[in-house]
């Protein structure tokens, strides 16, 4: 159900509340334009990509904002560079420290290198090696600490206090938020008839920047947040009207795996976010695979969260004064930094979910010709065999001298799987589907 989450003052600690209120009183239009000027020539103006497949699936015009094609592979370069570009030479000389699950790390490392500053990045131990290596490649020192982002962030804050380095927050900072908001400025410029923008929510910096820019320059456009069901902090916080920490975060989308939303992003989203949608891990995996197949685009799990939300949007209540018709929806694909092992697992899960791969076991009499019989039957049903496991020690004893045959086949969907299993049964076998 669509709800207006705004008009409720967030509960923030006293010092934080003062800082938040001070940020909320700044000249947002001027600051967003300044961020766009700073980023010119550094961040890429990513070009909108129409998606006929998603448009057909949803009944609305879907136009992709591919920040996975951004410098460093994610939107994070925008906020990091805008923040670092706002620092004085004296501040830069003290060095920069931050915490990140990966993408912000690369953004800070890249921006620090461009500005000639030394960067130290604290990352949780769950960070994919691809992101760790990419961060080091930009010249930053990487410190792995803690199991989740929040623990890495606490350690980064400690280093900042002890060593005097400038802490660059990944999302709870006005300059960072304005940098992320330049994405919305580009969308409004490139898609003047946009009706809805969908954005993944983790710490909230991207969502807050997009919402701030949209409501500053074109408030009739709706901003919709998307979260994985295993990362409920924003949903709980918006429902309560104050920042709430999640008890636990369990999601493959490590880029949005944040236990506690930022105070400033929450204050902005509590005021400006139009709706929030929860998506499943299966939805996320499906969209990663769909982007590969249909658009030849690599999108990480966090970047696919906004895509996964498209089929769950409640847009029916929206009325347009100009004309009736389908909505023009722009989901932001926030990043594409996914390691090959994870990508392989996602592809396999997606293939299984679509009925494109099946694995089954069947017991056979340990007599010559049985394996050929099964193989011939599968060939007749046009099932391409990927793997065979012929193991007499796994047999349950239903037959004397029986062997267990495990088979993985490539299939064309659920109906094809049903036909294969039925053909095996008609031939006298008792197949047991594993997945």
- Residues annotated as catalytic are 76, 334
Please check whether residue 221 is in contact with residue 196, taking contact to mean a CB–CB distance below 8 angstroms: yes
> Which residues, other chains included, contact 418 with Cβ-Cβ below 8 Å and sequence gap of 6+?
none
Q: How far is Cα 419 from Cα 33, in angstroms, rounded to an integer? A: 60
Q: How far is Cα 334 from Cα 304, in angstroms, rounded to an integer? A: 8
Q: How far is Cα 144 from Cα 161, in angstroms, rounded to an integer? A: 18
Please check whether residue 366 is in contact with residue 402, taking contact to mean a CB–CB distance below 8 angstroms: yes
Q: How far is Cα 346 from Cα 11, in angstroms, rounded to an integer? A: 39
Distance from the first to the final alpha carbon of the chain: 34
Backbone angles phi, psi at 64, to 5 degrees: -85, 140
Interior CA angle at 114 toward 108 and 117, to 5°? 70
> Which residues, other chains included, contact 27 with Cβ-Cβ below 8 Å and sequence gap of 6+?
none
Tell me the chain's radius of gyration from C-alpha atoms: 25
Q: Which two tokens stand for residue 254?
A: 């490590």
Burial of 359 (0-12, 13-18, 19+ CB in 10 A): middle
DSSP assignment letter at 294:
I
């Amino acid at each position: 159900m669509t709800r207006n989450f705004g008009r409720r003052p967030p509960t923030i600690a006293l010092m934080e509340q003062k800082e938040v209120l001070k940020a909320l009183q700044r000249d947002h239009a001027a600051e967003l334009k300044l961020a766009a000027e700073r980023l010119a020539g550094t961040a890429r103006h990513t070009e909108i990509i129409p998606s006929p497949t998603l448009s057909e699936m949803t009944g609305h015009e879907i136009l992709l904002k591919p920040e996975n094609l951004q410098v460093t592979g994610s939107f994070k370069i925008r906020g990091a560079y805008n923040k670092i570009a706002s620092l004085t030479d004296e501040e830069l000389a003290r060095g920069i420290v931050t915490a990140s699950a990966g993408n912000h790390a690369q953004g800070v490392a890249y921006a620090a290198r461009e500005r000639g500053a030394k960067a130290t990045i604290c990352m949780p131990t769950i960070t994919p090696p691809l992101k760790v290596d990419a961060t080091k490649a930009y010249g930053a020192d990487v410190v792995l600490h803690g199991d989740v982002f929040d623990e890495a962030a606490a350690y980064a804050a400690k280093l900042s206090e002890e060593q005097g380095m400038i802490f660059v927050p990944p999302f709870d900072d006005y300059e960072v938020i304005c940098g992320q908001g330049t994405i919305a400025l580009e969308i409004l410029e490139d898609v003047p008839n946009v009706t809805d923008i969908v954005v993944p929510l983790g710490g909230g910096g991207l969502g807050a920047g997009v919402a701030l820019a949209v409501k500053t320059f074109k408030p009739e456009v709706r901003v919709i947040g998307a979260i994985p069901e295993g990362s409920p902090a924003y949903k709980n916080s918006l429902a309560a009207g104050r920042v709430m920490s999640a008890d636990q975060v369990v999601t493959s989308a490590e880029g949005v795996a944040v236990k506690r939303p930022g105070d400033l992003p929450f204050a902005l989203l509590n005021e400006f976010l139009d709706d929030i949608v929860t998506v499943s891990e299966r939805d996320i995996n499906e969209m990663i695979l769909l982007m590969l197949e249909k658009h030849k685009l690599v999108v990480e799990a966090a970047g696919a969260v906004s895509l996964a939300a498209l089929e769950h949007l409640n847009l029916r209540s929206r009325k347009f004064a100009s004309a009736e018709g389908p909505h023009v929806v722009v989901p932001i694909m926030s990043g594409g930094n996914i390691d090959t092992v994870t990508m392989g697992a996602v592809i396999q899960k997606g293939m299984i979910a679509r009925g494109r791969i099946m694995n089954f076991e069947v017991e056979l009499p340990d007599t010559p010709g049985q394996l050929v019989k099964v193989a011939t039957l599968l060939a007749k049903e046009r099932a391409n065999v990927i793997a065979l496991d012929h193991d007499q020690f796994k047999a349950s004893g239903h037959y004397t001298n029986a062997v267990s045959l495990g088979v993985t086949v490539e299939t064309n969907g659920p109906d094809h799987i049903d036909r294969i299993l039925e053909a095996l049964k008609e031939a006298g076998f008792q197949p047991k589907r594993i997945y």
